[in-house]
Amino acid sequence: MAMFEPGLAVLLIFGFAIITLLGLLYVACAHVDKVESRLEGSKYVRGVKEAFFHAGMPGKVLRMCSIACLLTLPGPYVRRGLADGEEIKKFPRSMKRLLIGLWLALSIEVLAMLTFRAWLYCV
């Protein structure tokens, strides 16, 4: 009978999280200005940029994650007048997939960490 090894699960979850975070760091460093320039009509993107412009690398990652949220669920932002629907439609599909994929992967990994912690607490 094989026993479940919690250390291996932790290693896998944190390993995937580190890889995803490194990918997000690279995309944030290399493409944040280009992505923001494609969404210039968005009040939301301008506000986030103003708030986190001087925050360095963490600010770039936060700006990129906020844009990924906007691209994941654009409806509420467009209805409230915070984003331009035409700009979102014209946004490059490959970059949209990359940002949404990284954002969702990071979100799933954080949920996995929390779930694993709750499981360890209950066992």
- What whole-number distance in Å separates Cα of residue 59 and Cα of residue 55? 4
Taking alpha carbons only, the member of 72, 83, 74, 91 closest to residue 44 is 83
Task: Give the type of residue at 51.
Answer: A
Mean pLDDT by 10 residues, the chain (123 residues): 71 89 91 90 91 91 92 92 90 93 91 86 78
Is 50 a member of any domain? yes
Q: How many CA atoms lie within 13 A of 64 on its CB side?
A: 29
Classify residue 52: in a domain, yes or no.
yes
Token pair belonging to 34: 């280009």
State the total domains in the chain.
1
Provide the residue range defining the domain that includes 37: 25-110
pTM for the whole structure: 0.82
Q: Is residue 121 part of a domain?
A: no
Does some domain include residue 117?
Answer: no
In a domain, 65, yes or no: yes
Do the Cβ atoms of 77 and 42 come closer than 8 Å? yes
Distance CA 86, CA 36 (A): 15
* pLDDT of 47: 93
Decide if 13 is inside a domain: no
Q: Is residue 75 assigned to a domain?
A: yes
Query: What is the rounded distance in angstroms from the CA atom of residue 16 to the CA atom of residue 22?
Result: 10
